[in-house]
Each structure stands twice: as C-alpha cells, then as structure tokens.
Structure 1
Amino acid sequence: MKKIFVVLSFLIPLFVYILTLAPDVYFTDSGELASVATSLGIAHPTGYPLFTLIGYLWSNLLPWSPIFNLNLMAAFATAASSLFLFLSLDLLFTNFNLKTKVVRRVSELNNLLLALFISTGYSFALTTWQQATSVEVYSLQLLIINAFIFTIISAYYSAKKSDIYLILSGFLLGLGFANHLTSFMLIPAGLIIFFNKTKTMNAQSRYKLLLYIVGATLLGVLLYLYLPIRSSQLPLFNWGEVHRSFDKFIYHVTGAQYQVWMFSDSAASKENLKLFFELIPSQITWIGILFLIYGFYVVFRGNKTLFFTLVSTAILCVVYSMNYSIHDIDSYFVTAYVVLFIIVGLAAKQLINYQVNLVYLFAFIPIFNLFVNYETNDLSDDQTVSEYYRLVMQSAEKDAIIVSAQWDFWVSAFWYKNKIEGERKDIILIEKELLRRTWYVNSLERWYPLIQNQCSTEIEHYQEQLEKFESDLPYDARLIQSQFVNAINCMIDQNYGKRPIYLTFDILQTDPDIAKNYVKIPEGFLVRLSKTEDEIRLNYDEFDLSVLNKSTYGKDDKLHEMSRNLAILNLKAGMNYFEYKGDKNNSAIILNKINKLNNPE
C-alpha cells in the first residue's frame, strides 16, 4: 500500500505541473539557462554545473524542443521533491514520539493519507509550484533539499544504517553546492544530526565517519571542475571564462559580483522579511497557520534534537534570504517553507492521535492551494516573453544591430532563439550591461568578429581598464565608463549606413551619452538611430499585439506588469513621433493598440 502512496505523491503534482507548464521561454534567466544546458556551456554565476550537466542529458534525450524539455525537467524535479517530502513525513509519523497521554494506534492508511495531504499541499504551494513550470535551477534545488532532509531523518532514526545515511547526506550536500550555494543552509541540520548520532562513539570512530562524510561532500562539489575544463574549450556560452585564472574561477563560483546586494539595504531586508510572512498563507494555507504554533510546541516537547534541526534550518534560510536584495527573493525562502510543512504535518499527526477521522481535515491544504494558486501558476498559455521577443524582432530590419539591457524581458530569450533554434541569424545583439565584463567582450569577438575588429583600439583600451576593476586593482571608474561609452559609440559609428542600428529605451534612460549625436526614431519596441528625422519604416497595421495582450492581461506580478508598461512606453513614443510628423492616421492606429492593451479581445 505504501508504494501506491509514494507513486501518488509524485504523479499527482507532476500531472498538474504538466498542465500548467510554460510552452516556451520565460522571464529572466530562462533563455540563458536553456541555452547553456543545451549547448553544454557555462552559466551565469555561480555556474550551476550540476544543473547544466543534467539539463544537457535531459534536453537531448526527449523528442521535443530543448526549452520545452527543460521546462518539463523543472516539473519532474519539483514533483520528485514532493515524493521525498512524503517519505520524510511518513518516517516521522512512524517514529516521532509525540508524548501524548492518549495512546491510540493510528492505522498505516491514515498515516499515509496525512503524509500525502501535506506533501501535495507543499506541491501546490505558491512558491513551490512556481519552480515547476519553467526552467530554473531552483526546481533541482528543491529536490536536493528534500532528499537531504529525508536522509538526515533516516540517519537519525536508523539503528544500523545511520552511517550510510549520513554519508549519503554529505554527498547530497555536495551536489546541492554544485547546483546552488544556498545549500549552506542545510549544514547546521546535518551537524546537529551527526553529533547526536555519534555522541556515544569514541573519538576515532567519529572522526573516521566525519572524514567519509566530508569526502562524500567534496565528491559532489568536484563537479565544479566542469567549469574550468569546459570553459577552456571555449563553448558557445562561456560566462566568466573561468579558465583564464584561478581568481576568475573563484570570482565566478562565489557569485562575487552579486555580493553587493547582500546586507546592503536595511529597507529591502525589512521588505523581504515582510514578504516571507505575507507568503505563508499561500504556502501552508490558513488551516496550516492555525496548527503552526502548536506544531512548534509538539516538536519541541517531543524531540528537541529534531526541533533544533528544523528550526535552525528555517531561521538560517530566512535571515540569509531577507538580506539579499533581488526581485525573485521568494524562491530563496523555499527551504524555510519546507520546514513549515513538516512542522504542520507533525501537529496534524498529534491531532489525529486524538481523533483519527480529522485526518481528512488536512485534505483542505492541497485542495485549497490547488484552486487558489492555479491561476497564478498556470503558464500553459503564457507567451509573454516569446511574444515580446517576436515583436522586437519584427521591429528590427534585416542585418540589424541592437543595443539593449532588457535581459529579463527578451534578451535572455534571444540567446536561446538565436543561438539554439537558429532564428534571426542576421541580427547582432549587444547586451549593454554584460559589456561591463571582460568575458562578454571576448564572446562578442567570437560571435561577431567583424564588429569587434572595426573598433579594436577602443575595445582594447576599455578591456585594459576593465581588467583592473575585475582584478581588484586600483581603477578609475570615470575612465572605465568613458571608455565603455566610447567602445559602444565606435561600434555604432563604424556600422552606421551599413546596418540598421537600434537601441531600446532603457539605454536612453541610463546612458544618454550612447549615440547622443543621432536622431532617435521609435519603431515598434526599438528605437532606430538616424542622422536625419526619417519617417517611421515599421508598418504598425501588421504589428499584432493580441497575443501579448492575452498573456499579460490581469497579471499583476512585477515582470508581467513591466512588460505591459514597456509595450505602452514604446507605442506612445511611436504615436508621438507620428503626431510630430503630422501623420494622424498612423497615430490613431497606435492609440487604438494602446487602448486594446487594457481590453484584450
């Protein structure tokens, strides 16, 4: 009977995840990660070697497009994490001493039902579900977190195999580090269980076991050797070019460039902490919240070792994550939310010891989460990013050069569409913010050698100063910025008249010195550079926004809202330019499209 429930704990969430799976590229790093995994490249810091290697195998084994295959991998990994949570709960329900005065035998069926209700409730929690519908590293991290928790609980309760489980937990920890460095949050839990299980051992046996565990951990961490080895082969995507030096390697794998966002903004920390608590009802539901405090009491009274194991993990997760100023911080809270589900599960187990039929009360958690979170997490018809990308491409004439920093909305997707699926091979894209890194300058030279060669002197001078910054040597920030602008302007000047050249509006807002001597002509979702006040070349009658309207309408999250706002900003610029040129007909056409953005057909 247990095997049936184990299978259900995996298949039920997997079925729902597949129904809500994104059909194509999604926001932010989706396109880049899909490109890296498909081509066996190097991803953005911290490199994610485990994700890349598994993603490469997965994307090449299945018959569909690489991006759909990798979205499907996210669904499988998240569903598998639910399976491991089920196993952890079942183990706890069987072994945890609730210290209740009422001694009543709860049947295996009721224990399994309760474990299934809690684990599927976790599966349909807002933040868990978000990891399952599009490619990202967090889905694999969820699997590792839950597998690790299962192994340390197994080690704690096992009389004969605890050493094996502890060594396995060390290996899983190493794999976790090879996927995402937030795996350090699991270390206190592992140490607490280790010292508890070895307190009766002599010193020699304890150190020997610890050596095996550390060795198993290092075995997983050794996957980071993939980065310099593969980087030295100059793959298509070679973020960081970590083979160049040990310093470059360490800079990349530690995510040093992102550390400026750690513990840097007390206001952001308060907002993140507020967000953590605000999201709890969307995770464990209000029923879960009712039992949460009681659950802490049950665990503390029943087993202080497990109490401190679970609570230390949750606290470390929240304290670290709340001090990291990024827009998708909710994904970092998942470890704490897993702990909350376990604690709610133990409170529920205590309750059904008194009244076994109350087990069905906890079916409310997965049912509530399924219905409340379905619409938010249903990406099956969400083509926002692929449509935004398509409209940008429609805005660009043949052989165009585009300078942009709109990574989240279409640039990352362009990498996948252009380099992996072979679309618009005529386009040259320069990601402005990545140009502030030496590895990207080198990548542009390999991707578009003619463009680089035309400005070799300017780029060489810029590279020299940029290398000082990356190597933590004394540098002149104003000189770097000046040479950065000079390098981009050189590429624009050398190619004007040979290729159509475009910027996106963010460039005009953040770096007004770029192309400052050119007339900016809004065309679709781009701004064409010209030396005269040309007419707009784009036919707005054929600029179909209906799919973008449908995909973004009613979505109030930051990225969907910003996509709509960017679309409106671009359209208004085109409308104003037509009005300036006295073309009332085309101005009216664009105004009609703007109005439809709020009323999709």
Structure 2
Amino acid sequence: MKKSRLPSTRPATLTLLALCSLVIILAASYAQTLAPDLTWANAGADGGDLITAAATRGVPHPSGYPLYLLLARLFQAIPWGTLAWRTNLMSAVFAVLAVTLLFRHVERSFDCPSAWLTALLFGLSPLLWSQAVITEVYSLHVFLAGALLYCYRFVAPSPKNSFFEGTLLGLAAGNHLTILILAPILLWKGGGKAKLFRLSGMLAGIGIYGVLPLHARSGSPVNWGNPVTLQNLFWLVSGSLYQPRLGNLSMIEIVERLRGWAGILLNQFSAVGVLVGFYGLLSPVMASQRKVTLWIFFAFSLFSVLYATPDSYLYLLPAMLVFAWWIGGGLYEIKASFLQKFPQTLKIALFSLIALTLWLRAMFVTLPQVNASQDDRAVEFAEEVLSQAPPEAILVADTDREVFTIWYFHFALGTRPDVRIVAEGLLPFEWYQQTLHSTYPDLRLPSQGQATVATLLMLNADRAVCLLNDTGKPHLTCTGYR
C-alpha cells in the first residue's frame, strides 16, 4: 500500500522567498535615498503643508486629503527621526506595499518569475521611486489603486466583499479624488445587489471627509477653506481653486505634453519594456482585462495631460501601474511562446541577466534622478530666513515652496514663535484672514476688499517686513527694522 504524499509546499515557499527578496531590495533602495528632513526634491514642495497639517490637526490644500492626514499622524508618532523624515517614511512604506500588491497580482495572473521582474521594474521606476522618498500623497494613491484592482480581479463576489470594495474606494477618494476614475469599473461589477452594496460602501467611505470640519475647529494655523460649513467644505473638496487649470491649454501645449507623456513612459520602463508591455496588452493572456486596463491607462493619462500644472505627470502613477501589469503579461507570453523548450539553466541565466540589468539601470540612471537624501535646500532656506529675521517681523511668502517650508518650521516645529508668517497669495480669501486672526491676534488685518500685502504692512508699520525669496540669495530682504 502506497503512502499518500502531502502536497508540495515548494512553489509557495519560492513565491514567499521571491516576495521577501523584492521587499528587501526596494526597502534598501528607498532607505538609501529617503529625504532625512523636509525636501524640495522630486516636486515635493507640498510636503511642508501636508506635514504641518497632519502634525497640527489642520486642513491642507484642496482637496484636503483626510485619509492621508490620519495615516500621516500615525507615522508622525514614531519616536525617532525628524518629523518630516517620519512622514517621508510613510511614502516609502506604501510604495513597497504597492509593489507587493503588483507582485501578487501578476503572480496570480501569470507566474512568479514574470511577477518578480515586473515588480522590480515598477518599484525601481523613476516616477514611483521619486515619490517613495518624500512627503506626498502619490505612494498611498498608487497603493490604493493597486488594492482596488486586486479586489476587482481576485476577491470573490459577496455582499460583504462588495461593501468592502466600495468602502475602500470611498476611503481612497479621501486620499486623492482621481481614484474615482476607477469607480465605473468597480461599481459596474456584478449584479444589482452587488452594485448596491458597493455604492453604499463607497458613500460610507467618502464619509472620511467629515474629518476635515473637525480639524477646522481644532485651532490649527493651517486651515485651507475653513470647511466648517457645507459651502466651504465643497469649495475645498471640489478643488474649486484649481479647476481653471483643467483643460486650460493651447493645442501646441497639448502636443508638447503628449510628447512629454511618451517620454515619461519610456523613462519608466525603457524602450524594451514599453515594447514588452504593448505585446502583453495584445496577447491572449490579457484578453479578459484588456478593456478595463485600457480605460484606466488612458483615463489617468488624459487627465495628466490636460491638467495644466507643472507636476501633473504625477497623476500618471496608476497608469504606470497598469502598464507594468501589461509588462508582466508580455513577459509571461514570451516565456510561454518562445522559451518553453529552453534548458532550465538557460532560463535561469536569462532571468538573472534581466534582473542584473534592471538593478544596474536603477543604480546608475534612476538613483541620481530621484535621490532626495542629499537635498537640504528647504532646510537651508528655512534656517537662513528664521535665523536672520528681526524680532516680531512679518515674513511675506509667495510661492508654495516658501509658504509651506516656513509653515513647517514655524508651526510644526515651533521655530521663531515671535515672527508672523503671511502667505501673500492667500490674503484675498476670507478664510485665510480668519485663520490669520485666530493664529496671530495681535496682527492688524485689512478688510477683505483691501486685502493686499501693502495694506497689511501699512496697518502694521511698527513691525519689520521681510520678503522671502526661494530662488536666489539673499533668501530674506527686510525693511523697517529699527
């Protein structure tokens, strides 16, 4: 009588080892290049606003990012490192988790070797890596996009699961509203009951925006829109301040942005990777997911191209995630169609060569582009400004880099509590004047119709006035100092 044999655990063990090796490589790469403090690297000017809002229970720039605030607050409780480093670490963690999800997605769809190479390529791509080492919302954004796609692909249909998927979508909208591009795909999945449960879950998840009115009442000096009324909350969440930028482009600018989009795609994956990706898209293994992935890829790409801001290319991250999925399909199809009869040793050698090529490209091409560990421009700027500012001076900041950097050092770290920070571009807004009044009761403010820097300075003529300059030296120019 033959003894029954237990099922082999070797494939599961190899998959786990592959995943662990991937996490170690990415964690080491991100740790090596993580910004140690506040940084302006990699389009990270918003970092000071986000860190300060989370630390002071405030409200950052539209759309408010309530999910991000709550999670950032948890990371800021870590008892070591600078406040900015702790928040930067959050980006690295969610970038690793996003790549982990991609690995599992491709591994379950195709096989482990294709998944490992795909995940390594995406994890070390310039766009994701650049956002993994600074404070921004995009690492969390791409992780949530990956989680939603994983649920769409692999979670079994049931009322409970449908409600969970909808709730996850709603919560994800609490980090970045463009995630709602996925709503038609997720809400349309399944029958009538599943759609109803998913919609109910989404509405419940979106309720996270209720955090913002609570934060607005906390007395934080960062309180965009003061969203204590429905009108103010809608202004903040809808991004009314930025809506004129959508589509505000000439045809020449659109063509230039399309060229830039193509360049970014090539920069992420190389020409070979792009060819493999399109081969995967057109291959039979992607047939069932072709329409869904095309919608995601082109919808996020179109929004990125048409949104007239210098950093709109960051909205491409979910599109790049989908393209990486195509690459995984392409690698699997190439292996199945052309390498099936190759000796195992040759397959291993080819796999190792590709992995080594990806690593060398990352170390010698990508790392210098995204390395934020040596960027001390924001710290140097703030230290010079705050060390040289006269006592009780009014510091007038204009650009996002100036405003958010000084907010971080002044409000979050408590540096130079005697000075008064004024964001010139926000002065015309009533909510900002209200925030200034509650933050600095001794500051004399103009009426709303006269809310200019000149009027403000005239009303506070007894104080020195300093203009900030983040692009050249000196960073601080003061008048009226006695």
Report the TM-score when normalising by structure 1. Answer: 0.72
1:11 corresponds to which of 24, 45, 67: 24
CA contact (8 A) 1:283 1:369 kept: no
1:525 corresponds to which of 461, 475, 481: 475
| 1:209, distance to aligned residue in structure 2 (A) | 1.4
2:83 corresponds to which of 66, 74, 89: 66
SS at match of 1:237: coil
Number of the residue aligned with 1:24: 37
1:276 corresponds to which of 251, 261, 268: 261
Number of the residue aligned with 1:226: 211
Number of the residue aligned with 1:435: 427
For 1:165-564, what aligned pairs fall within 5 Å after superposition? 165-191=161-187, 194=189, 198=190, 206-243=191-228, 245-266=229-250, 267-298=252-283, 301-353=284-336, 354-355=338-339, 357=347, 358-360=350-352, 362-363=354-355, 364-408=357-401, 410-452=402-444, 455=445, 459-460=446-447, 462=448, 480=449, 483-485=450-452, 488-496=453-461, 498-504=462-468, 524-530=474-480
How many angstroms apart in 2 are the aligned matches of 1:7 and 1:185? 32
For 1:71-150, what aligned pairs fall within 5 Å after superposition? 71-93=88-110, 111-150=111-150
Structure 1 residues 163 and 16: alpha-carbon distance in aligned structure 2, compared to 1, 3 A threshold: farther
How many angstroms apart in 1 are the aligned matches of 2:180 and 2:123? 23
Higher relative contact order (CA 8 A, sep 6+): 2
CA contact (8 A) 1:41 1:230 kept: yes
How many angstroms apart in 1 are the aligned matches of 2:424 and 2:292? 45
CA contact (8 A) 2:97 2:143 kept: yes
Number of the residue aligned with 2:7: none
Structure 1 residues 306 and 491: alpha-carbon distance in aligned structure 2, compared to 1, 3 A threshold: same
**Deviations 1:4-54 (CA, angstroms, capped at 9, x unpaired):** 223333332122111100111123211111011112211111010000011
How many angstroms apart in 1 are the aligned matches of 2:66 and 2:396? 30
How many angstroms apart in 2 are the aligned matches of 1:165 and 1:269? 41
Structure 1 residues 438 and 217: alpha-carbon distance in aligned structure 2, compared to 1, 3 A threshold: same
Report the TM-score when normalising by structure 2. Answer: 0.88
| 1:162, distance to aligned residue in structure 2 (A) | 6.5
| 1:173, distance to aligned residue in structure 2 (A) | 1.3
How many angstroms apart in 1 are the aligned matches of 2:473 and 2:363? 42
How many angstroms apart in 2 are the aligned matches of 1:86 and 1:138? 19
CA contact (8 A) 2:304 2:314 kept: no
**Deviations 1:75-122 (CA, angstroms, capped at 9, x unpaired):** 1011111100101111110xxxxxxxxxxxxxxxxx323211110110
| 1:505, distance to aligned residue in structure 2 (A) | 6.0
CA contact (8 A) 1:404 1:429 kept: yes
Structure 1 residues 20 and 238: alpha-carbon distance in aligned structure 2, compared to 1, 3 A threshold: same
Structure 1 residues 118 and 303: alpha-carbon distance in aligned structure 2, compared to 1, 3 A threshold: closer
How many angstroms apart in 1 are the aligned matches of 2:280 and 2:165? 25
SS at match of 2:174: helix
Q: Unaligned 5+ residue runs, structure 2?
A: 1-12, 341-346
Q: Unaligned 5+ residue runs, structure 1?
A: 94-110, 199-205, 463-479, 507-521, 538-601
How many angstroms apart in 1 are the aligned matches of 2:171 and 2:473? 47
Structure 1 residues 186 and 360: alpha-carbon distance in aligned structure 2, compared to 1, 3 A threshold: farther
For 1:566-577, what aligned pairs fall within 5 Å after superposition? none
| 1:366, distance to aligned residue in structure 2 (A) | 4.8
**RMSD of aligned Cα (Å):** 2.3
Structure 1 residues 505 and 523: alpha-carbon distance in aligned structure 2, compared to 1, 3 A threshold: closer
| 1:253, distance to aligned residue in structure 2 (A) | 0.5
Structure 1 residues 379 and 302: alpha-carbon distance in aligned structure 2, compared to 1, 3 A threshold: closer
SS at match of 1:429: strand
CA contact (8 A) 2:163 2:201 kept: yes
CA contact (8 A) 1:11 1:79 kept: no
How many angstroms apart in 2 are the aligned matches of 1:166 and 1:11? 33
CA contact (8 A) 2:58 2:218 kept: no
How many angstroms apart in 1 are the aligned matches of 2:304 and 2:139? 17
How many angstroms apart in 2 are the aligned matches of 1:360 and 1:290? 20
How many angstroms apart in 2 are the aligned matches of 1:346 and 1:253? 37
Aligned AA (1:217): M
| 1:450, distance to aligned residue in structure 2 (A) | 1.3
SS at match of 1:433: helix
> When the two structures are aligned, how many residues end up with a matched partner?
454
| 1:523, distance to aligned residue in structure 2 (A) | 8.5
Which is further off, 309-318 or 6-15?
6-15
Bigger CA radius of gyration:
1
| 1:314, distance to aligned residue in structure 2 (A) | 0.4
Structure 1 residues 272 and 25: alpha-carbon distance in aligned structure 2, compared to 1, 3 A threshold: same
